[in-house]
Structures are given as C-alpha cells and as structure tokens.
Copies of this chain bind each other. A is one copy, B any other.
Amino acid sequence: MPLMFEFELLATDAGTGARAGIFHTPHGPIPTPVFAPVGTQATVKALRPRDLHELGATLILSNTYHLYLRPGDDLVAEMGGLHPFMGWDGPILTDSGGFQVFSLSDTRAVDDDGVTFKSHLDGSRHRFTAERSIAIQENLGADIIMAFDECPPPTDRAYVAQSLRRTHAWAARSLAAQTRRDQALFGIVQGGVFRDLREESAAYLTALNFPGYAIGGLAVGETKAQMHQVLEWMNPVLPAAKPRYLMGVGAPEDLVNGVLRGVDIFDCVLPTRIARNGAALVPGGRINLRNAQYSRDPAPLLAECACYACAHFSRAYIRHLVQANEILAHILLTTHNVHFLLNLMGNLRQAILDGAAADFAATFLAHYPAPEQAAPEQATKESL
C-alpha cells in the first residue's frame, strides 16, 4: 500500500475505545472520526460540492450499483472518474454494490461466484462478481473502495455462517482483482450478531492485510444493543493501526456510540433522506416541519446552530417551503442535518484529542433514550 494512505492515529481515549486520527488519501486528508454524507447518484442530494466543502465534509460516499446502472461506470471513467465528473475534489468512498444488489434490485440469484440481478430502473439483467465490482470501482476512481460481499440477515445463524465463506472468498478475489494502487481497498467483516463468526471474519480479513476494515451487516434489523455488542467484540480484534468503517450508520446517537467503540468512519443517507421528508435533527431526536405547531414559529430549526439555514430562516418559513414542496426546503433541511452531524463529529473528535471523549459522549447521549430496544436507523433506499 502506498504511503498516500497512511493512517495517523493521533489519540486513543483511555477510558473508551474512541480514536482520533487522520487518514491520508490521494485527494487529501480525512480527519477521523468522520461522517461521510452519501451521494448515491454522484451528488449528495440538494447540495453542491462547494456547499459540502463549506459544511466541512471531508469524505463522501457514492454507490457503485447506482452509477454502474446510470450513467455507467465506463462513462464516468471517460469523464476522468468520479472526482472531475461530479466536481468534488475531496476524498470519495464507493461501496461494492453488493448491498444494493440485495436490497434494491427486483430479483437476484446468488451463487458462489457472484450475483445475477435485475435493474430497479428497467428490469434489465446484470451480474456482479468480486472482479466485476472492483473493475467498476476502478472505473469510478474513488479513494476508498470496498470488497464485494454478501450482507445476510444478521440473526439467521445458518445463513450467516454459509454466507461468511462466500464473503471471505470474495474478499480475497477482490484484493487479487485490484490493479490500481491509488485506491485503498477495505475488507468487510460480516458474521451477523454472532461473536465467533465475527471474530473468525475479522481474523480472516486481517490476515489478508487490507488498508482498512469495514464492519458490515449492521443497521439492517438487529437492535441497537446488538450493534453495540458487535462493535465491542470487534474493537480489540481489528488492527488498531488501520481505520474502521461502520457502514450505513448515521443516527447521531449511533455515531457517538460507534466512536466510543473504536469506529473511525461512518456513512448514512439519514441526514439527506429525512430532510426530504421535512425533518430536522435536534439534540435528542428530530422535529418534523410538516407539524402544524411550527406554522407561526419564528425560531430557527435549532437555536444554537451555526448553519446557513439556522442563521437566516425561521421554522415558520421552512415549514411553508415544506408544505409548498419547494426545492429550497430540501436544500435548507439538508444543509442543517449534514451540518448537525459534521459538527457533532468535529466536536467529538476535539473531545477525544482533549481527553474528554467520555464526558462529551455522556452529555450528548443524555438527550437520547437508552439503546436497549431501539433498532438502528435503516436508510438504504435513498434514490428510489
């Protein structure tokens, strides 16, 4: 692995598993822990690249499945790759397409070699294998790319165990298929909610020496307590010197709980998706501007917030925009929600560097209900 992907671990909190670092990529440094807004179709919905920079985004995710189908990874490659195509010069991460094939495509057939599926756009037939996924991701040209994997139902032990063999074989094939040296290929730990399978998966993938590791198969139906448990199992067995990425998680309390358990990278459609449903993140949850109680409310979405939406507009105005189905509603709510998460992560990172991670987390999490029963946010269908 070239030096351009060095992971500088600046601090590990003594009392918790929280880490602060910098992951260096060809398109710049990513201060960690980091939340990556999702640009499914090569655009973070309702934001321009300059807005993302202004909000402090240092990493965005885009989806291989969607871009393969439209506009096509060959077209993106012809335009110089995702960075110039979408006008974003910072770091990008692409997923492998595996998760979307299983969650979005109309029908699919999995075998040990790959997955055959039908496009959700036009029903056309396609096939992904580990090699195909890597070739597509090399065409897209992100800084961080993902091994092809299967994301099984997390509590079905028999299926999870069988699927794990396949995921491991695909991980090795993904690594072997890689030809570009300017992309960091991360392995994905699976194993559902089962400690032995998770530890087996971590050990197998660690032996392959990936430059980073994702924890997959969470936020897909298990409880929050189960998610925390899996992260606690993973923290001591994943190599400390490599970044860890918890896929598809973005609820504020889940970010904090993930960081406390050693996670460095997160992504989720949550801030952009709930914006389009009229909701704004606030400490302890969210408010929905469709609610009539905000119709004459002169307050900003969140009093202490420094984002453009909160600095200039009232809840009454944003509610009017929501009711009138105006594009500006999406723009302002997305701006606020992305700011909320990036600001949270920035403050949490500073607290880790200051040795105050536990206090910061306790104060923040006091706004939220205990995680015993709640299921993590599932937010996989951004673009449908």
Where the two chains meet, the residues of A that have a C-beta atom closer than 8 Å to any C-beta of B are 41-43, 45-50, 70-71, 75, 78-79, 85-87, 295-296, 298, 308, 312-314, 316-317, 319-321, 323-324, 326-328, 330-332, 383
Contacts and interface: CB of A to CB of B under 8 A. Distances in A.
A326 B45 contact: yes
Nearest to A319: B71
Nearest to A331: B48
List the number of copies, as a whole number: 2
Given A71-B295, A308-B48, A320-B42, A87 B313 contact: yes
Best-surrounded residue of A41, A43, A49, A298 (most CB of chain B within 10 A): A43
A321 B43 contact: yes
A41 B78 contact: no
Given A71-B295, A71-B323, A324-B383, A317 B85 contact: yes
Contact of A312 (B49, B296, B328): B49
Contacts of A43: 321, 326-328
Contacts of A331: 46, 48, 327, 331
Nearest to A46: B327
A312 B70 contact: no
A334 to B, nearest CB: 9
29 contacts: A41-B320, A41-B321, A41-B324, A42-B317, A43-B321, A43-B326, A43-B328, A45-B326, A45-B327, A45-B328, A46-B331, A48-B308, A48-B332, A50-B308, A70-B320, A70-B323, A70-B324, A71-B295, A71-B320, A71-B323, A75-B295, A75-B320, A79-B298, A79-B314, A79-B317, A85-B314, A86-B317, A324-B383, A327-B331
Contacts of A78: 296
A109 B321 CA distance: 30
A141 to B, nearest CB: 14
Nearest to A66: B324
Contacts of A326: 41, 43, 45
Nearest to A50: B308
A43 to B, nearest CB: 4
Contacts of A49: 312
A85 B321 CA distance: 11
Contacts of A48: 308, 328, 331-332
A317 B383 contact: no
Best-surrounded residue of A50, A70, A327 (most CB of chain B within 10 A): A327
A45 B46 CA distance: 12
A330 B87 CA distance: 16
5 nearest CB pairs, A to B: A87-B312, A71-B320, A43-B328, A46-B327, A41-B324
Contacts of A319: 71
